[in-house]
């Protein structure tokens, strides 16, 4: 790892650029599309059946179950990767990772409970108690804080984490 003084970090590690972070976020979003699109189509179909007071066919229930199961498995795997290795699939492909401020792996509490859970809870509380547009504004503020000191979003500040470049050699197929 690079010298902490040279990178402006208290502990070694080169901060990931905003573009690298955005790339990882976009890749993580793209991974969910094969499961999200069928779920949306199924949702419209369920809505039509409910509107017309028709019974839901078993095949439609099975398809919905498969979509939900696939998204839960993917989400669980992504959370495992972030907690254990500091990397979602998108972060791995962008060669970035989440670390605690001291450079150690983030662990479950930082990566999942604080980094994701607290910010989602704040978002939901704002949406429920005030308004959805205000909750969107909170989400925007969270993301725009990346332009502040240390390229750290609000969720990074809450969790005591930062995103650095992964300096491990890339994984190649044999």
Final residue before a domain boundary, out of 42, 58, 85: 85
**pLDDT mean over 134-160:** 89
> Is there a single domain that holds both residue 110 and residue 77?
no
Question: Would 153 be classed as within a structural domain?
Answer: yes
> Is there a single domain that holds both residue 46 and residue 68?
yes
> Is there a single domain that holds both residue 41 and residue 104?
no
12 contacts 103 by C-beta, under 8 angstroms:
yes
Q: pTM to 2 decimals?
A: 0.74
Residue 121: what pLDDT?
A: 94
Relative orientation angle of helices 132-144 and 119-129, to the nearest 10 degrees: 150
| 99-131 pLDDT per residue, tens | 988 888 888 999 999 998 999 999 999 999 999
Query: Is 80 exceeded by the pLDDT of residue 61?
Result: yes
What per-residue string of b and e applies to 50-62 under the rule 16 or more CB within 10 Å gives b? eeeeeeeeeeeee
Task: Count up the domains in the chain and report the number.
Answer: 2
> Is there a single domain that holds both residue 115 and residue 159?
yes
Long-range contacts of 133-137 (CB under 8 A, 24+ apart): none
Q: Looking at the chain, list the stretches that DSSP marks H as alpha helix, in order from N- to C-terminal side.
A: 4-7, 18-51, 58-85, 89-94, 107-108, 119-129, 132-144, 154-159
Residue 168: what pLDDT?
A: 67
Strands 161-165 and 96-100 turn out to be antiparallel
**What is the average pLDDT score of the chain?**
84
**pLDDT mean over 150-170:** 85
Question: Would 20 be classed as within a structural domain?
Answer: no
> Is there a single domain that holds both residue 61 and residue 123?
no
Three-state secondary-structure class, residue 165 = strand
Confidence of residue 62 (pLDDT cuts 50, 70, 90): confident
> Is there a single domain that holds both residue 105 and residue 66?
no
Nearest to 71 by CA among 33, 20, 41, 106: 33
**pLDDT mean over 136-165:** 89
| 14-30 pLDDT per residue, tens | 888 888 888 888 898 89
> Is there a single domain that holds both residue 125 and residue 155?
yes
> Is there a single domain that holds both residue 65 and residue 120?
no
Residue 34: what pLDDT?
A: 85
Alpha-carbon gap, residue 10 to 125, rounded angstroms: 34
Query: Is 50 exceeded by the pLDDT of residue 139?
Result: yes
> Is there a single domain that holds both residue 45 and residue 80?
yes
| 126: containing domain | 95-167
Question: Would 10 be classed as within a structural domain?
Answer: no
Question: Would 90 be classed as within a structural domain?
Answer: no
> Is there a single domain that holds both residue 112 and residue 156?
yes
> Is there a single domain that holds both residue 102 and residue 162?
yes
Question: Would 16 be classed as within a structural domain?
Answer: no
81 contacts 89 by C-beta, under 8 angstroms:
yes
> Is there a single domain that holds both residue 132 and residue 162?
yes
């Amino acid at each position: 790892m690079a010298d902490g003084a040279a990178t402006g970090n208290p502990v070694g590690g080169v901060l990931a650029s905003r573009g690298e972070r955005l790339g990882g976020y976009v890749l993580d979003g793209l991974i969910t599309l094969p499961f999200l699109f069928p779920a949306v189509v199924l949702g419209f179909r369920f809505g039509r059946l409910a509107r017309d007071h028709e019974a839901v066919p078993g095949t439609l229930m099975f398809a919905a179950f498969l979509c939900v199961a696939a998204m839960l498995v993917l989400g669980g795997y992504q959370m495992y990767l972030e907690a254990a290795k500091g990397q979602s699939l998108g972060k791995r492909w962008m060669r970035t990772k989440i670390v605690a401020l001291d450079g150690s792996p983030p662990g479950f509490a930082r990566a999942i409970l604080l980094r994701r859970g607290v910010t989602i809870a704040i978002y939901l509380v704002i949406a429920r108690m005030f308004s959805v547009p205000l909750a969107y504004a909170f989400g925007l503020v969270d993301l725009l804080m990346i332009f502040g000191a240390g390229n750290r979003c609000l969720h990074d500040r809450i969790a005591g984490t930062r995103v650095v470049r992964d300096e491990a050699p890339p994984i190649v197929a044999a």
